[in-house]
Structure 1
Amino acid sequence: MLTHSKMCGLETAKNRIERYKQQGKKIVFTNGCFDILHVGHVDLLQRAKELGDILVLGLNSDTSVKNQGKGDDRPFNTYEARAFVLAHLESVDIVVSFDEDTPIKLIEAFVPHVLVKGGDWRIENIVGREIVEDNGGKVYSLPLIQGYSTTNLADKIAKTHHVSK
């Protein structure tokens, strides 16, 4: 079983975040599937972390990924494997899963100071924006490094190895 102290459930994450807030730390939240970690992911997470003190990563569970219509073969890596890799990144402080299609329950529970998504999201469409802004927080859609996506990477691997999808 793959574990790391940064990987936790909702209640543990909520308790940690409350302690950090009591210490005056600025909480940043982002979310995603992070199925095959690539330079675009690492760059986005690093820039998100720079917007505060503690980066909380809401990670789609395997069920949540499947429900997003990314294909029957997704996720390529299990939640446990994805969370384990992400927990080892210096920029990430907490990894917590969610089963729903969106991380709204996590955002409601944590009420982060900053909410971040990649530049493919318009700010007005970012789930949880109202909660963060209504509590005095900021919401960012950070530009992505062009040419990096899990889908593009999977397509390249399939093409290189002559695998039909």
Structure 2
Amino acid sequence: MECAPIINFLQVDKSKQLLSLIRKCEQPVVFTSGVFDLLHVGHLEYLREAKRYGKSLIVGVNTDNSAKKLEKGPSRPFNNENDRASLIASLRYVDGVILFNEDTPNALIKLIKPSFFVKGGDYSETYLRATDLFGLENTEIKIIPLKTNYSSTRLIKKIIKAHQ
């Protein structure tokens, strides 16, 4: 099985690749985004559920620089952006991965124009409309409840505690 393509949104020479990916995607397109550091079952179930809303799933992955701005911790992310993107791209229900460097994927979403924008239960539709989807009225928001007891932060704390 072939991995989904990975595109770096920062590189202008990749714009043709991005447009090609968008054209190849079957409608409806679902878009989601995240850091996806220390991939775990919660991530897998979230992405599998996101794919159920459409025919194509494109995942925006925060670059290392963008992830550091999210203040998840001084040493985060543990896995670099290319490794995180490669792991996500290897999942059978992911049709494309795009690395983005902004605080929100708003510019990327405007280019993709997905039918659905999916986020985890730690986000609200009001917040997403004011940030990630600002100016995008035709994209429907779907919130997927988080899987209890699964988070990269929780996993990191557990590892640290085990080695103290």
TM-score of the pair, normalised by structure 2: 0.88
1:99-114 paired onto structure 2 within 5 Å = 99-114=101-116
Q: SS of the residue aligned with 1:140? A: strand
Q: Aligned to 2:133, which of 117, 129, 133? A: 129
Paired letter, 1:115: F
Moved beyond 2 Å, runs of 4+: 127-132
Where does residue 14 of structure 1 map in the other structure?
19
Given that residues 123 and 129 in structure 1 are in contact (C-alpha distance below 8 angstroms), is that contact kept between their aligned partners in structure 2? no
Q: How do 1:21-32 and structure 2 match up within 5 A?
A: 25-32=27-34
| Partner AA of 2:97 in structure 1 | V
In the alignment, structure 2 segments of 5+ residues that lack a partner are: 10-14
- The letter for the 2-side match of 1:128 is D
Deviation at 1:19, TM superposition (A): 3.5
In structure 2, distance between residues paired with 1:141 and 1:129:
14
Please list the CA deviations of residues 55-85 of structure 1 after superposition, one character each: whole Å capped at 9, or x if unmatched. Answer: 0000000000111111220110000110111
Runs of 5+ unmatched residues, structure 1: none
Tell me the number of residue pairs that the alignment of Structure 1 and Structure 2 aligns. 154
RMSD: 1.5
SS in 1 for 2:60: strand
Aligned-partner Cα distance in 1 for 2:80–2:152:
15
Identity of aligned residues (%): 38
1:157 alignment counterpart:
159
CA contact under 8 A between 2:106 and 2:133: conserved in structure 1?
no
> How far 1:109 sits from its partner (Å)?
1.0
Give CA-to-partner distance per residue, 1:95-124, whole Å, 9 cap, x none: 101111111111111111100000110111
Distance in 2 separating the partners of 1:9 and 1:74? 20
What is the DSSP-based 3-state SS (H/G/I as helix, E as strand, rest coil) of the residue aligned with 2:91? Answer: coil
Which position in structure 1 is the counterpart of 2:77?
75
SS at match of 1:129: coil
Instruction: Write the distance in 1 (CA, Å) between the matches of 2:162 and 2:132.
Output: 39
Shift of 1:131: 4.3
Match of 2:123, SS state, is coil
Change (3 A) 1:154 1:87: same
Name the SS of the counterpart of 1:112 in structure 2: coil
